[in-house]
Amino acid sequence: MKTALVWFRRDLRLADNPALSHALERAERILAVYIGGFEAPGTEPGAASRWWLHQSLTAFAADLNQRGAELVIRRGEPAKVLGQLAKEQGAEAVFWNRLYEPAQDAADRKTCDSLIAAGLEVQTYNGALLAEPWEIQTQTGGPYRVYTPFSRNVRARGAPRSPLPAPRRIPGLAAQSLSIDSLGLLPRIRWDAGMSRMWTPGEAGAHRRLGRFCDEALHDYSAGRDRPDQLLTSLLSPHLHFGEIGPVQVLARLQRELAEQHGPGVSAGAEAYEREILWREFAHHVIYHYPTTPTEPMDPRFAGFAWRQPREYAADLARWQRGATGVPIVDAGMRQLWSTGWMHNRVRMIVASFLSKNLLIPWQEGAAWFLDTLVDADLAANSMGWQWVSGSGADAAPYFRIFNPVTQSQKFDPQGRYLRQWVPEIAALPDKLVHAPWLLGPAESARQKIDYPVPSVDLGESRARALQAFDLIKQRAS
């Protein structure tokens, strides 16, 4: 084969890229293509993800250039764009890595059929997961809805393959291309300074982040991963989402750490982080088999849950989004999200529980906000997380889980360092009060000149209200 197109999407890396590797084995020269502005419904990137995508495309184009290729950028319906490029270049085949969101999968199948009908060969690969969703089945032949047996199944299969090396040289072709700037991914009013300081999008940034995690945090990860006041998480989630690094590479690095370093800390940390990678895998398998997961409860009982109506909760939702609820751990998380495009996972659970349980606001509202503001806004993981916290999802607890934000804050940020960083209004309070400043009372708050709101809901009363709503749907179901 003389010429092939390689269509890049959320696989913006050179190493361990199956579509790129196989195209280079089959074709004498390739044309690297990115198509903007035509995402499948429900998969459109939010504002924070668009910022990341701009940076990631810039880094990826530079990596391609160093190896002799150019990233050709077009806009439009993929089948038409790829068909036109194939005609221009005399290409015989199109290679790409699969995406698994239901709407995207359906769109890709139509693109594939259209290109085949036009006489092109189409080859697609798994570059995003450890196993295909249709490969992992229960003993009865169906998909898993519970994480633990799913993870056992995936582990039992062993490593799917060794990571593929990056090509040293790419015999690339050039074609008329749009600029990355023309995709309009960056905000017109620049609010991204905090994200620019925190993140280095791109394949090199992903591997530096993984190296830092293994060298500096892996030993303490198992014990400290729930502490937002300590930098012990990997921060790899946006790099994984955009495919700047893949789960096969991450697990291979963990195995290397286990082989080279001994001690209970490294072993426990690697095992704990592997569980997080498998949870991501589980989310993608669930959304593939249950395509309504992003919008509808997996537990049908929750279709009748007594959520408040939009006119009733609009003000509370706005306060939650701004980080102005009066509950410090909730506000700290929401402000961290707005500033950096990211939030610690433990805090994500707390703010989600507060929204869906204490405020009785439908989880879909929170999921939509996260999709717009997270740099790692992954539809599968985001939907899974929100359904899990709300109690309606796969692998939900047999009881109605309601996080107490005060005790969670006291347990996982005992000195209040995280709270003081993101909620400076209460920084001067002693540790005993920083988690619940309303205990000061209005007079003392005024005396100390603390300009911080009182919570709009009583935590105890709102918890009881949520439990009552859950009891009601249980009674209806029985």
- Judgement on whether residues 33 and 134 belong to the same structural domain of the protein: no
For position 92, which CATH number holds? 3.40.50.620
Query: Which strands, in side-by-side order, build the sheet including 3-8?
Result: 71-75, 29-36, 3-8, 93-97, 121-125
Residue numbers in the chain where pLDDT is lower than 50: none
In a domain, 193, yes or no: no
pTM to 2 decimal places: 0.96
pLDDT at 188: 85
225 CB neighbour count, 10 Å cutoff: 19
pLDDT in tens, 51-110: 999 999 999 999 999 999 999 999 999 999 999 999 999 999 999 999 999 999 999 999
pLDDT at 43: 85
Whether residue 233 contacts residue 344, with contact meaning beta carbons closer than 8 Å, is answered with yes
**Segments forming the whole domain that contains residue 157:** 129-162+201-289
In a domain, 435, yes or no: yes
In a domain, 177, yes or no: no
- Judgement on whether residues 138 and 217 belong to the same structural domain of the protein: yes
pLDDT in tens, 201-228: 999 999 999 999 999 999 999 999 999 9
- Judgement on whether residues 80 and 147 belong to the same structural domain of the protein: no
- Judgement on whether residues 89 and 155 belong to the same structural domain of the protein: no
- Judgement on whether residues 98 and 49 belong to the same structural domain of the protein: yes
Looking at 127, 145, 174, the residue that finishes a domain is: 127
Which letter does DSSP use for residue 458 in this model? -
pLDDT at 100: 96
In a domain, 57, yes or no: yes
- Judgement on whether residues 422 and 353 belong to the same structural domain of the protein: yes
- Judgement on whether residues 139 and 79 belong to the same structural domain of the protein: no
Which letter does DSSP use for residue 214 in this model? I
Q: Please state, in angstroms and as integers, the Cα–Cα distance from residue 120 to each residue in 34, 79, 87, following that order.
A: 18, 11, 10
Which letter does DSSP use for residue 39 in this model? P
pLDDT at 285: 97
pLDDT at 399: 64
What angle (nearest 5°) sits at the alpha carbon of residue 302, between those of residues 299 and 306?
170
Question: Which contiguous run of DSSP H or E holds residue 206?
Answer: helix 203-212
Structurally, how many domains does the chain consist of? 3
From the list 135, 118, 139, the residue with the least C-alpha distance to 126 is 135
- Judgement on whether residues 95 and 223 belong to the same structural domain of the protein: no
- Judgement on whether residues 133 and 123 belong to the same structural domain of the protein: no
pLDDT at 414: 96
From the list 389, 386, 433, the residue with the least C-alpha distance to 410 is 433
Looking at 127, 145, 171, the residue that finishes a domain is: 127
